């Protein structure tokens, strides 16, 4: 008598522990294609002036979960720093311009000895160095992170204001970007808007480099997440 049903022998449990989701560095012409890849293969350090990194190495953040992997590291485009860099350069050469112009006029403070001018000069250049530094760290600490579990937006400005917001990827409903103006188009940066569900705050990554790329990556992550709920 033929057997109607024969149970197949049980295979050994060969389940491999789930690796974190990591973006592949290669991109196709129509956009980035995230592919599961071993995180150990990536070697992508974030430099001091980096504004955009996929799978960054050496970056950790507070409250990071054990298996949480950072997929995208975003700062404002470096071109946004040009204004304060030019202002700083002007401040650097301003004393030279003043001293040159004073050569044509009488010294307004003849009773002051040279040591006063020396100390004021040192103080001035220390002030200019601090101006450079404060503007730099304002740019440096304005970070957006996209991990395989959530999106984190860190705003830091005026040295005393910091705002940290995070949302889970499954709460993200839509991602879009705006790239308005010739300069933004030429240097390829724009604002990325991440819309979240319900009454939760939306996220805006201002002046983010490669905004289209970012939107594609987050859209893909959302799609990947949504597959679990179908």
Binding mask 85-124 for other proteins (x = CB under 8 A): ------------------------xxxx--xx--xx-xx-
Query: Rounded CA gap, 69 and 146, in Å?
Result: 9
**Least distance from other proteins to the Cβ atom of residue 50, Å:** 9
Q: Per rule CB under 8 A, is residue 43 in the interface with other proteins?
A: no
If binding is defined by CB under 8 A, does position 40 make contact with other proteins?
no
Give the CA diameter of the chain: 121
Residues 122 and 132: beta-carbon distance below 8 Å? no
Q: Is 164 in the site for other proteins (CB under 8 A)?
A: yes
- Closest to other proteins by CB, 7 vs 48, is 48
Judged by CB under 8 A, the residue of 150, 156, 166, 219 near other proteins is: 156
- Closest distance to other proteins from the beta carbon of 137 (Å): 6
Q: What SS3 state is found at 153?
A: strand
Contact 172, 194 (CB under 8 A): yes
Specify the residue, 154 or 200, whose C-beta has the smaller distance to other proteins.
154
Backbone angles phi, psi at 201, to 5 degrees: -70, 145
Q: Going by DSSP bridges, is the β-strand pair 143-147/172-178 parallel, antiparallel, or unpaired?
A: unpaired
Q: How many CB atoms neighbour CB 223 within 10 A? A: 10
Binding site for other proteins (CB under 8 A): 45-48, 58-62, 109-112, 115-116, 119-120, 122-123, 126-127, 129-130, 133-134, 137, 140-141, 143, 145, 154, 156, 159-160, 162, 164
């Amino acid at each position: 008598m033929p057997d109607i049903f024969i149970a197949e022998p049980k295979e050994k449990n060969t389940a491999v522990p789930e690796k974190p989701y990591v973006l592949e560095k290669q991109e196709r012409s129509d956009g980035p294609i995230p592919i599961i890849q071993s995180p150990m293969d990536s070697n992508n350090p974030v430099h001091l002036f980096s504004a955009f990194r996929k799978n960054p190495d050496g970056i950790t953040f507070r409250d990071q979960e054990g298996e949480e992997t950072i997929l995208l590291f975003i700062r404002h485009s470096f071109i946004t720093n040009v204004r304060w860099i030019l202002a700083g350069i002007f401040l650097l050469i301003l004393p030279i311009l003043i001293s040159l112009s004073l050569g044509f006029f009488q010294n307004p403070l003849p009773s002051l000895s040279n040591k006063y001018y020396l100390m004021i000069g040192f103080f001035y250049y220390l002030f200019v160095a601090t101006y450079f530094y404060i503007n730099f760290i304002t740019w440096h600490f304005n970070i957006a992170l996209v991990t395989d579990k959530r999106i984190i937006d860190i705003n830091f400005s005026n040295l005393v204001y910091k705002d940290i917001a995070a949302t889970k990827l499954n709460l993200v409903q839509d991602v879009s970007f705006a790239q308005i103006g010739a300069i933004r188009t030429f240097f390829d940066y724009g604002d990325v808007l991440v819309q979240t569900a319900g009454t939760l705050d939306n996220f805006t990554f201002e002046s983010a480099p490669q905004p289209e790329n970012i939107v594609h990556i987050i859209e893909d992550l959302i799609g990947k997440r949504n597959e679990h709920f179908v």
